[in-house]
A and B are shown apart, each in its own frame.
Chain A
Amino acid sequence: MARVIVVTSGKGGVGKTTTSAAIAMGLAKRGHKTAVIDFDVGLRNLDLIMGCERRVVYDFVNVINEEATLNQALIRDKNCNLLYILPASQTRDKDALSQEGVGRVLDELKKDFKYIVCDSPAGIEKGAHLAMYFADDAFVVTNPEVSSVRDSDRMLGILSSKSRRAEQNEEPINEFLLLTRYSPERVKLGEMLSVDDVQDILSLHLLGVIPESKSVLNASNSGTPVILDEKSDAGQAYADIVARYLGEERPHRFIDDKKGFFRNLFGGK
């Protein structure tokens, strides 16, 4: 059975697109045919991170409007032939997406792909709503700071009440926490929330922690998902996450310090 994964957050700029590109590549590298869809209509940048921006002919909106077939719009990745990208339109706005249209495209993709990764736009408006609506699994990308955690919590509420699974009273979406841009030094200084603090607030299954890393910027500049940089800390963190998602046990890495912001603030328990 195909699975639809939404990479979502509520708050902008926390690392959704970076994560979507990395895990889609990771799943494909592990032998699963995977498609990654850019739901950020009007602000597309998944194609940049994937390094396929110069091969875009048709996009997601064209497919929804039946101006192109899926096969015409899907771009095969240059590094992995099991990975395909469905880019967003640069010239339309979010109203070009319809629930019925998105459902149709996902149903068609499900026939051929094992995993369909949906890169959600920021916010809780229409684009983000459509990206999560049909999901089976949700990767909630969160930065270790209060406003990001709060927005993730809000998004979790939406996942559990506004998704198709919720509306049709099916098994709820599997929700996973991805803590990104984590810096143990800054946690130690009390400038960031710790893993424990975040888990205490969200009470969510932690799929992994991705450290703040220069390799992410290098990867996006060269148009290759950071997971392909196997020597980098962020690349390894994403590889762990893909392995855990596929059911393997891997010890958590890149979490140095456990003493946290809240505990400092309230003088410990």
Chain B
Amino acid sequence: MSQDSKKKSNLINALEFKTSTFSVPVLMLASDDMGLLEQLLAQKIKQAPEFFKNSPLVLDLQEINKQGFIVDIIALVDLIRKAGLILVGVRAGNVLQNKQSLDLGVPVYAAQGRESIVESQRLTKFQVETPPTIESDKPQEIKVTVPTTLITHPIRSGQRIYAAGDIVIMAQVSAGAEIIAEGNIHVYSTLRGRALAGVLGDIDARIFCFDLQAELISIAGNYKVSEDLGASVRNKPVQIYLKDKSLIIKDIVLHH
């Protein structure tokens, strides 16, 4: 091989994309008390300073969001960076948290689960509409529209789907499957698995299904298990919504 052609082939190989799997520590938080978090983090790092020094870290918000805590992502990211850790991702954030993370240059990962099919691209593709006139003293209101997730194949036992907005499923949801949405859930077939709507606390979220045989239904954390579902609501099209903190199950088709 001549010098020249060697150089050329080196140039061709100069850049290559590959996928690799790394193991990275994940920080799970279950409190919104910044002072406490700072203190606990410092304690942990003290136990193994070499391990944590410049260590990459993924921040998991699942627990925080599940418990309905409000955290300031910007402050949290700052706190982590000050502790000498390098934040390489935020996981299981809601739409707003994801946007804030991306603004800080931190990549966003969807919630983790067994065989979860997560619409991660959708999470990052939301549109933000700012009202045209903003009064400076009021906190800026951001309206966020998340596209609806459409699923046309059956959701089988063991599968888990998380949608950052509404989800429409055109096939059955098997027993042992789990549908989790920040918004509404529509199932145009039999719902045998679990359906959790409004998981981040939206009490106006609803569940609609063609044939209710669910193992569990939940809206904003208020749930009913299969045993609680009487014969009068089973095996037919119903909608489920929240009224004064209790789940109401009603026929979709209204009889006059």
Q: How far is the CB of A167 from chain B (nearest CB, A)?
A: 12
Stretch among B86-94, B167-175, B242-250 lining the A interface = B167-175
- The DSSP consensus for interface residues of chain A is helix
Bound-complex Cα distance A172 to B156 (A): 15
Q: How far is the CB of A138 from chain B (nearest CB, A)?
A: 13
Stretch among A89-97, A100-108, A151-159, A249-257 lining the B interface = A151-159
B235 at the interface (CB under 8 A from A): yes
Find out whether the CB atom of B177 lies under 8 angstroms from the CB atom of A157: yes
B98 at the interface (CB under 8 A from A): no
Find out whether the CB atom of B153 lies under 8 angstroms from the CB atom of A160: yes
Q: Which residue of B lies closest to A156 (CB)?
A: B156
Interface residues of B, count at CB 8 A: 18
Bound-complex Cα distance A154 to B157 (A): 5
Find out whether the CB atom of A160 lies under 8 angstroms from the CB atom of B156: yes
A203 at the interface (CB under 8 A from B): yes
Bound-complex Cα distance A262 to B177 (A): 20
Q: How far is the CB of B188 from chain A (nearest CB, A)?
A: 13
A110 at the interface (CB under 8 A from B): no
Instruction: Assess A157 versus B235: contact at CB under 8 Å? Given A150-B175, A150-B176.
Output: no
Find out whether the CB atom of A269 lies under 8 angstroms from the CB atom of B235: yes
Q: Please give, as numbers and ranges, the residues of chain A lying within 8 Å of B155 by CB-CB distance.
A: 157
Q: How far is the CB of A162 from chain B (nearest CB, A)?
A: 7
Bound-complex Cα distance A158 to B115 (A): 8
Find out whether the CB atom of A203 lies under 8 angstroms from the CB atom of B172: yes
Interface residues of A, count at CB 8 A: 14
Q: Please give, as numbers and ranges, the residues of chain A lying within 8 Å of B117 by CB-CB distance.
A: 161
Bound-complex Cα distance A156 to B155 (A): 9
Q: Please give, as numbers and ranges, the residues of chain B lying within 8 Å of A172 by CB-CB distance.
A: 153
Find out whether the CB atom of B175 lies under 8 angstroms from the CB atom of A153: yes
Q: Which of A77-127 contact B (CB under 8 A)?
A: none
B221 at the interface (CB under 8 A from A): no
Bound-complex Cα distance A201 to B158 (A): 15
Q: Please give, as numbers and ranges, the residues of chain A lying within 8 Å of B156 by CB-CB distance.
A: 153-154, 156-158, 160
B-side residues, CB < 8 A to A, are 115, 117, 153-159, 171-172, 174-177, 192, 234-235
